[in-house]
Every structure is written in structure tokens, then in C-alpha cells.
Amino acid sequence: MLKPKALLLTQGMHGMISQVEGLANALGLNFKHETIKLGKFWDFIPPKFTPISEIILQNKFICDSQVVISCGRKSVVPSILLKKRFKKNIFNIHIQDPKVDLNNFDYVICPEHDNLSGGNVIRTKGAIHYLTNDEIEKNINYLELNSGDRRIVTFILGGPNKYYDFSEKQMTSMFAKIKNLFISSKYKLIVIPSYRTPEKILKLAFHYFNEDHLVVKERDKKAYLSSLGLADIIIVTCDSTSMISEAGITGKPVYVAHMKHKRSIHRFEEFYKLFKDLGITRDLENKIESWNYKGLNEVERVALLVKEKMKKNGII
């Protein structure tokens, strides 16, 4: 039996791709990606004030799919446009708060800290994503690491956003804390960049940690998976709820490396508290601890709920 087709709409950022692809995989869909680019004027207009029309798009695309999974502000209107055009022949799911009438979608999936509710809303603990423990195990030996009998700590770097600026001063302080805490305790360090990590910060990490440690210079999914599999402890910078959520699938201790924020982080704080209460994370402070928890895999739970409605609608 052929898998139903899905069109995945995002702005092309890792966190968004991880979420839409993770759900598509969990639903057993045959998918393709479309990166949404809006006209310059429409880039600055909130979705609720944007016309439901192709005129806003820089890149036109063809939809030959039964399912549309979108994530991020720019993909809101294209998803609604396809739903209006194909009606019941399209099942559309939006991930994150779309900031428009929720009835434009068959399902809206968002983290609990978004505080969104409705009959077609599925709330998740953290962000859903595309990582699986099988995939991590399959790629564990991708990184060639001579650690001897040392324990391994993986440090995952995010990047600047509207809440955090990743200044060299802040990052140097963070690197010093990790060096004093873990390297002095004979840990082997793996540093993994994300697509948002500035080159200057990656270079700073390389010069700070290059002696007898591994700083991965390229954005490489297999290296990321391998580092999660090899790690005894994982550290993630505080800017990315997506990468913290991804680390939470492992069942391994996850430290959140906090830095000074530029504006209110109320929603982030709700997320941090939730993951602490679940026993997944602790703040990176001045001592090394070890703990266990059941790895969090919300996408499988979400997929079961979505499949029920897809069957009722005749999509699968």
C-alpha cells in the first residue's frame, strides 16, 4: 500500500524542519519539503493581517499531497490557502501557535508553554522533533573519538535570536564554566554547532577547546546524532527549546546553559520549569550530577491522535 503524500511547509530553520519531519515520519507519510519565502513587504506583516492569496509568495509551488504540515509564521497563510482551495481533500496541521483562527486547520500542535487551547489543539511537553533512539544508536560510531576511560560530555550550541545575543563575552564565560567543571574532572568534550551558531562563536570554541577535545566545525546531522549517543551528559544552550526537547529523548542528564536575556522570557521560563519538573533538565551551575528519567517522545503520542482524525476524514 502506498504511503499518503505530505507537503511540509517551513521557513527552512532546523527547529521547524525537525518538527514537521518528525510528525510526518511518525504518521508514516511520504513527504517533500517546501521552503516558504514571502515577498519583502509581507515578511513584516503578521498572518492575521495577511491576505489568503498567492500574491504574498516569492516562490509558487504545486501541492499534490493529501496532508499539509506547516510550522512557523511564514507557512501559516500558505497552509490556509491550500485548505481553502482543496477543502476536505487536504488535511492540514500547523505546529506552533499560528496567531490566527485555529479553525483554519484540522489540527494545531503546540507546546504547553504556548498556553493555547481548543477542540483541535494538541498540547505537547516541549517541541516534537525528528530524532529517534534507533537513529541515534545507528549513528553512534559516526564520530571517531578516542576518549580512553574518560566520560563524555556533549555541548550543543544554539545561536542568537530575539531573546539572546550570544556575545563573545557571554560565551567565553560559559566556555570557562564548562572547562572548569567538566574538563578539570577529566571529561572528554564534544562541541556540536547548530545552523544558528555564529562562525565567530564556533571559532572561539575551537580555540578554547581544541586541545584533546572535539569541536565539530560543520553542521552535520550524523555528528549531532553520534554526539547524543556517545554522551554521558548533555549540555544545551538555553536559546533553543527544540534542541533541549531533542536531547530529552535520550534519558540522559541534560544541563541547560543559561545566559543573560535581552527581553522577557516568560514562555521560556515555563518551558524550563516543565522540563525540570519532568526530571529531564537541570541548570548548569557549579557541580556535576547524574540522574535518569524516561526519555520523552511526544511525537508518537501526537501521531496516534492525528491518525484517528485522519481516518475519520478518509485521508488514510
DSSP state letter for 261: -
At CA 156, angle to CA 148 and CA 33, rounded to 5? 125
What are the Cα distances from residue 244, in Å, to 158, 168, 201, 275? 10, 22, 19, 9
**Among 270, 198, 186, 277, which Cα is nearest to 233's?**
186
Residue 80 CA: distances (Å) to CA of 66, 91, 103, 106: 14, 11, 10, 10
Are domains 5-129+298-312 and 133-283 of this chain identical in fold? yes
- According to the model, what pLDDT value does residue 3 have? 87
DSSP letter, residue 74: G
- Fold of the CATH domain 133-283: Rossmann fold (3.40.50)
User: Exposure pattern of 95-134 as b/e (b: 16+ CB <10 Å)?
Assistant: bbbbebebebbbbbbbbebbebeeeeebbbbbbbbbbbee
CA 250 to chain CA mean position, Å: 15
Domain map of the chain by residue range? Answer: 5-129+298-312, 133-283
Among 254, 273, 248, which Cα is nearest to 127's?
Answer: 248
The span from the CA of 217 to the CA of 191, in Å, is 9
Residue 247, sorted as left (phi over 0), alpha (psi -120 to 50) or beta, turns out to be: alpha
pLDDT tens track for 55-70: 999 988 899 999 999 9
d(CA 227, CA 243): 13
pLDDT value of residue 148:
79
pLDDT given at position 145:
85
For 5-129+298-312, the fitting CATH number among 1.10.3230, 3.30.70, 1.25.40, 3.40.50 is 3.40.50
Residues of the chain with pLDDT under 50: none
